[in-house]
Structure 1
């Protein structure tokens, strides 16, 4: 079937760009919309700004595009000045808030404005990048307070969204995805202890994530899946 549309947020990032590139070579999709903070975006979108997210949704609605796939490929682990906390004494309220804003609140606001625009006559998919370190049950090392907690919050947002949206459209699949350790600027400072076989390039990660999405059914909505299709427990 042709004529499907996909919307990618964070489309200038390593994984987001690779996801968009892969979809543009997929014959099932004839429209791939790339949103980012870049001026090349149809509407520049900053996930810390609900106004910009709403403007993007208004643009999409005006273009009469009903996407069957929305992929939020954004995330914050560090910036030029701050990195993940190694201990309690490093907790900083502004950095914690920034982690929550980008990693949890932003994707939830994308869902708020874009889920109502999605295709309803067949299965549609909404995915956001999470991380295995956001699993509470899997946490055995501690540290990385803001990143872990904000990804755990994202996982709960995904679960909540899946429950509410199943009442409106039970053909929607809403999931969080863990891409593994991907060779991007986000992971660059933390790659030294990653075995070469476990460090993926963006194209490899994108292909696997899209393969996982393709295999999911509405009964999988609300769950967290790794790049290899394994379910991750919250």
Structure 2
């Protein structure tokens, strides 16, 4: 007899859970998520830290985003490249005159990063300090702690981020997508580095890239065509 009240409550509990599930399944558009990346990150768990991660558990996701989308979601086309250019240039103009990109000299720059699968691999490929690479921690929170020379373009869609401020190393590694052209992305990063007093050289081979330095600071930007009409940017910075 004592078990009957328990059985009678069970359907009510299931109904309550179902109601909660229906509320959580309310659709959210890419436009809403792009306007509010905090909402996107709160609703979609886990955050992606591997740009080629193809499988994840979405059973409890309130919304579903295609696996090749990082955060915040970004779609190419419909003038997105021009809007990205204007946003970047407006941000730069707040700090003064925009310098033109220099010509790329003959000769190769640093090794390409497209095949580097991790932040540690990027630093090793660039000949960076291994002891600093070993201390890297993955996490999107590092994008909020970028040095002035290595800021991410406005509306950049971050795929991967890592960093460290321990053991005498300050390191940042970010891979992001942008609707801006490769030329506009390089212009943005060249000006950011120049304002931080880094001597920066542009290279055309093995791919469009920048390399800057000042004392014990090193800065690298590699750009290339990315997925879905976007462009990919690899951004690496360290200071010892």
Common fold by TM > 0.5 = no
Which structure would you say has the larger Rg? 2
TM-score after normalising by structure 1 = 0.27
Q: TM-score, normalised by structure 2?
A: 0.27
